[in-house]
Structures are given as C-alpha cells and as structure tokens.
Structure 1
Amino acid sequence: MNMTANLPKIELHLHLEGAAPPAFIRGLAKEKAMDLSGIFDERGHYAYRDFWHFLKVYEAATETLKSPEDYHRLTLAVLEESAASGVVYSETFLSPDFCGGRDVEAWKDYLAAIREAADLAEKRDGITLRGIITAIRHFGPEKARETALCAAETAGDWIVGFGLAGDEKMGKPKDFAWSFDAAREAGLRLTAHAGEWGGPDSVRDAIRDLGVERIGHGVRAIEDLALVDEIAEKGVVLEVCPGSNVALGIYRTWRDHPIHRLRERGVKVTVSTDDPPFFHTTMKNEYDRLADAFDWDEGVFDAIARTSIDAAFCDGDTRDRIVKKLEAARA
C-alpha cells in the first residue's frame, strides 16, 4: 500500500542488536573468523524455533559486536534501514551487558560511538535517535543493578529512559525495583517488557511495582478488560509490535492481533518493529499490514504517530522538532 510509504513514523520499541541486518552480522563474523552458521537458515535469515531459542540466537549474534567501532557501524546500518522505511524518530534499547560488560567506563566508550553514529545518520538520513538503557531480565536482579548504575551515570539529553527486557518468565518485576528506583532518581523515564509471554498480571505487576509509564508489548492485557480500562485511565502507553507477536505465534494472524481492540477501548497504542530482521518486517510493513487487517487510513496512522511522539522520552525541544516534521507531512 503506497499510502503508508510517505507517512513519517515514530518507533519507540527497537532493540539495537536485534535490528542488525543478518548480512551485517555475517560480515562481522567473517572479519573476526567466527563461525555463526548455526544461527542462519539456507536463505541467510536468522533461524530460531521459538522465543526462547530466539533469545539464544540473538545473544549469539551479539558475540560479533566486540568494540565501540562495531556498535558505530551497527548504529549506522540500523538507522539507514529505519529511515528508508520513513522513521523520523526512534528510541532504541541499549544494554551495557553487551556493551562493555556493565563496566561504567567501558559503557561510556560504547555510548560515545553510538551517539557519534546517530549524529551522522541524523545529518545523512534525517532520523533522530535516543537511547533507553535496558536490563536483561534473565541475567538477574544483581546484574540489573549494575546496568542501572551505568544508566544513572549517563542519563541526560540522549540516554532518556530505562527499561527491562528478556525472558518474562524469569522472576517478578518487583525483583528489579531497586534498579528502577535508581533510574528514576537519575531522571530517567521508565518502561518494561510485559504482557507478551506473561499474561495480564505481568502488566499489572510492572505498572504497580516498577512505576513505568510505558509497557513494551502489553498486548496480553486484552485478556483482562478491567486491566485494559485501568491502563487507559492511567494513560499508560503500550509499545505494540504486531509483526513480532504474529511471527512468534502469540497471535495466529494480523487480524487476530488485539491492537485494534485496545485502541478502540481507549488505550494509547504505538507501533514498532521490535527486532525487525528476525521477524521479516519493517515499519512500512507494519503499517501496510495494519491497514490491510483493520482498514486503518492515514488519519489513524497520523494519530498513532502523534501518540508516539507525545509518549517519547526525549526532551521538549526534540519533541517540538519532530512534531514539526509530522505537521509538515500532514500539510
């Protein structure tokens, strides 16, 4: 559908390593004489059996990313693909676990390289990037504390948020409360993955125990309409990734996906790709498939873009600049 091609898009839920094109990772592996053949299929795509195997493949791919220079190159590659899909503003999840082993000084070197690449991409492609430091849930609460300290040390105009990702079935949100409190005290805004593999209670727990204003995914809330109404009333924003949910089998088809029902019930929903090459998607593809599944038109997508930039963790000046881009496209 050409209608969606020229629409400016805001993406709030993107894992930087998970957005690495397979060819990019294969190239790095070849440079470093690493054998990663087991994580690709015969067509060169990432290959995994289910979500938990996906996590292992994801972490295997990150083994090629050994230096700040690798992350500089990765950031440029990812933003080039995002911009080609019409993304004008993106927030990406960054994990010091993969960038310097949660050592603050090493993390600062990685962050400097990522920011330098983001500045180049903004000049080249007109796309603005901001970072959300993310603890890995299945690495445990103690390592999350170290990640939170990295976040607190680099909070500011570019590192704007703190989050929690990984295996939702490991531990409870409250196990990570110390890390979220530390991030909040550093001025960071908060999000957490929930309601993807965990049911409605995982969403309720993340909101109550971590005090987040956004939920990554959150779609399983639809199984508890009282929770849906609570989310709508509190104005909690869902970072919805329909293509990811369908690819991983949470919903059988796009028409089965609850994003439309959540939106109709007053929930603030946004649209993102999550880990796009793993799920064979782009932001343009997400828009196209949603338009086809729910007859969404430009007005709906414009409203979603506006909801997304309102929910973005960036500073006011950056938000105003992106809003002007949305308004210029609408005009």
Structure 2
Amino acid sequence: MSERIDPALPKAELHLHLEGAAPPAFIRGLAKEKSIDIAGIFDEHGGYAYRDFWHFLEVYEAACTTLQTPEDFRRLTLAVLEDRAADGVVYAETFVSPDFCGGGDLVAWREYLQAITEAADEAERTMGITLKGIVTPIRHFGPEKSRPIAQCAAETKGHFITGFGIAGDEKAFHPKDFTWAFDCAREAGLRLTAHAGEWGGAQSVRDALDHLKVERIGHGVQSIDDLALVDRLAEDGITLEVCPGSNVVLGVYPDFASHPIARLREREVKVTISTDDPPFFHTTLVKEYEELARVFGWTEEDFRAMNADAMRAAFCDAATRDRILKIIEGSA
C-alpha cells in the first residue's frame, strides 16, 4: 500500500501552458460575454472535448479565441494561479505566447505582458505562489513566425520573462529550423527549453539538444527508447519536464504503469512533475502525485527530492530559488 501524500506538500511546476490551464467554465464565461460560439469544443459535462493530440491542438486554439484583451489574460492568470495554489504549488513557470497576445506585435505584447505580470504579482501577495514566464513560439506556425516571437521575448526579458521555449506540433518542421529564434533568445540571456520526445521519438530530443542547445526538455519521455541518450541526459544534467497524466490521456503511453518516468529516474535523469494543460487532461498536480505514489511506491521524500530538482533547474534568480527551496525542503 502506497504512502498517503499530503496534498499541501509544497510543489514546483515547470511545464504549464497558461491558456491550456484555463478552467473550462472560465472559457465558457468569456465566450458568453463576447457572443462567441465555441460550444462544439465542450463535452456534455462542460469539459473540453477532443479526439486525439492534433484535434486537441485545434480545440486549444479555439478556446484561445475568447482571450482577446490584456484584461482577459489578467483574469486568466488569476484563475490559473488560484488552481495551482490549491494544488500546493509554491512556484510555477508558464508558457506564454505573443502569438496569442497581440499576434507577435511588440507593443501589443507589452500590454498583455503587463496585465499577466500584475496578476502574477497579486497572486504572489495573496496566494503565496511565485510565477515566471517562458515565451514560446508555436512550432506548427512555422520558423518565420518564431522570429518576431523571439524578439518579443528578448525585448521583455526581466523579472517575469526568464525563459524561451517552443511548443505545438512536434512533427512540424525540424528543430534546426528554429535556431535563429533560440540564438536570439540566448543572446538576450534567456534560459532555454523545448518540447521534444513526446511525439517525435528519442531523435527529436537529440535534435533539440544539438541544434537548440537547451538545458531542459519539455516531456522528453521517449528518450527511454535510446539508452545512450538517457545516459547523455543524466551526464549533462538535462532536466525533463515530465507530464505523466498528459502522456497517458493523449495516448503516448497506455497507463501510468507503462510510463517511463520511474525508469528515467532510476537511470539518474533529473525528472520533474507537471500537468501540462490540466483541465484538458482532467488532472491536478495532487492527482498526479497520488497516482505516481500508487503505481511506483514513491513517498513524500521522493517528491520533495524531485521538487528540489525542479527548483535547481528553474528559470529564476538565485534569491527566488533559495527562498522556494527552503519551503520545499521544509526549512522555511
């Protein structure tokens, strides 16, 4: 019998899409306010409905059509952080895309970013949760569209925007097609991650490491199919942002027992636990921990260690890292 995991255990979450974490009721409310008909993206219970990963992307983008103003994103950020705080999250990083916040226009992006940042600051004061932003171009929008997004990221690097990554359809284009954007972000001093090894196989992880020079990989679970790559991840200290529930619901793996997170950890790869787009996958971070504890026998000590690894890999300043680490390790 697995140990009961305290839901209030302090947690760090590194892989969270801001729009993808929008509660369905919040999106339905916005749609009603704006008279936008997106009823087809919900099931009979009011949750998001989709057939597979590629249909999920379509539903995701349809939901985003309700998010049209900086005020919408301020409200969204507060709603998402309220859910995260209820999960015991004390530190989170979220993917944000200027594609959805002003269409890649720098002036518009600054307005959206100000609204998101104000909400994050409010949540830190009232909920005790710290949020940082990782700017992401959308891979299937193409390499050319990634360039203005990288410039938006470079121009707004600072207290809130600390990282740069790439999300979207992993089978669209090749990582080397986005080297300009990643070079731009790197030169601006942004920390780098990339979605890989969710759908593109172990080779996609190698390609992200070789061409984009990232220090973290979003998902990365298919690395398990190439043990030389697994050893490279361990030796180079590459941290994986693993989202087990997402992988199971989307069919990357049939169930938690088949998921390679434990095998990766046993081979000394730094794995962290996140929810990706939690309402889409009917999950919470508490549920993820409970299921991992049930299947793999992990204890609170295991989860504290993984959360500490998450903070050591976090895209934040040293003072923030030290402060959150004390909370996670129980010394604050």
TM (normalized to structure 2)?
0.98
- Deviation for aligned residue 1:157: 2.1
Q: Residue in 2 aligned with 1:11?
A: 13
| Residue of structure 2 in register with 1:25 after alignment | 27
Q: How far is 1:6 from its partner?
A: 2.0
1:40 aligned residue: 42
Rounded to whole Å, the distance in 2 between the matches of 1:208 and 1:235 is 15
Match of 1:182 in 2: 184
- Offset of 1:13 from its aligned partner? 0.2
- Secondary structure of the equivalent of 1:112? helix
How far apart, CA to CA, are the structure 2 residues paired with 1:313 and 1:76? 21
Q: Determine the C-alpha separation between the residues in 2 that align with 1:191 and 1:326.
A: 23
Q: Distance in 2 between matches of 1:141 and 1:326?
A: 39
Asked if the contact 1:4/1:287 (under 8 Å) is kept, the reply is: no
Aligned residue identity for 2:217: I
CA contact (8 A) 2:5 2:289 kept: no
Structure 1 residues 235-265: Cα deviation after superposition (integer angstroms, max 9, x where no partner): 1110000000000011111011000000000
Q: Is the 8 A contact 1:10 1:90 kept in 2?
A: yes
Corresponding residue number in structure 1 for 2:231: 229
Which residue number corresponds to residue 117 of structure 1?
Answer: 119
State the 1:2 CA deviation: 4.6
Q: How does 1:69-88 map to 2 (within 5 A)?
A: 69-88=71-90
Equivalences for residues 250-289 of structure 1 within 5 A: 250-289=252-291
What percentage of residue pairs aligned between the two structures are identical? 68
Encode CA deviations 1:162-216: one digit per residue, 9 max, x unaligned: 0000001101000000000000000000000000000000000000000000000
2:166 to 164, 169, 175: 164
Residue type of the partner of 1:23?
A: A
**Distance in 2 (alpha carbons) for counterparts of 1:251 and 1:324:** 35
Residues 85, 283 of structure 1: 8 Å contact kept: yes
1:104 to 100, 106, 124: 106
Paired with 2:97 and 2:51, the residues of 1 have a C-alpha distance of: 24
Match of 2:313 among 295, 311, 314: 311
SS in 1 for 2:272: strand
Is the partner of 2:99 in helix, strand or coil? coil
Q: Secondary structure at the match of 2:194?
A: strand
Residue 156 of structure 1: how far off its partner (Å): 1.4
From 183, 193, 196, give the equivalent of 1:194.
Answer: 196
Q: 2:130 aligns with which of 128, 131, 152?
A: 128
CA distance in 1, matches of 2:4, 2:300: 11
Secondary structure at the aligned position of 2:51 is classed as coil
What is the deviation of 1:38? 0.4
| Cα distance in structure 1, aligned partners of 2:45 and 2:7 | 26
Could you tell me how far 1:158 is from its partner in structure 2?
A: 1.3
1:4: how far off? 3.2
SS of corresponding position for 2:5: helix
Secondary structure of the 1:130 match is strand
C-alpha contact 1:88 1:127 (8 A) present in aligned 2: yes
3-state SS of 1:89 partner: strand
Report deviation, 1:326. 1.6
Q: Distance in 2 between matches of 1:126 and 1:72?
A: 17
How many angstroms apart in 2 are the aligned matches of 1:160 and 1:67? Answer: 23
Instruction: Give me the whole-angstrom Cα distance separating, in 2, the residues matched to 1:70 and 1:109.
Output: 12
Name the structure 1 match of 2:302. Answer: 300
What are the Cα deviations for residues 64-87 of structure 1, in whole angstroms up to 9, with x where unaligned?
Answer: 000000000000000000000000
| Counterpart-to-counterpart distance in 1, 2:304 and 2:329 | 9
CA distance in 1, matches of 2:67, 2:84: 20
Q: Distance in 2 between matches of 1:158 and 1:253?
A: 36
TM-score (norm 1): 0.98
Q: Where does residue 206 of structure 1 map in the other structure?
A: 208
Partner of 2:145: 143
SS in 2 for 1:313: coil
Q: How does 1:51-90 map to 2 (within 5 A)?
A: 51-90=53-92
Gaps of at least 5 residues in structure 1 are: none
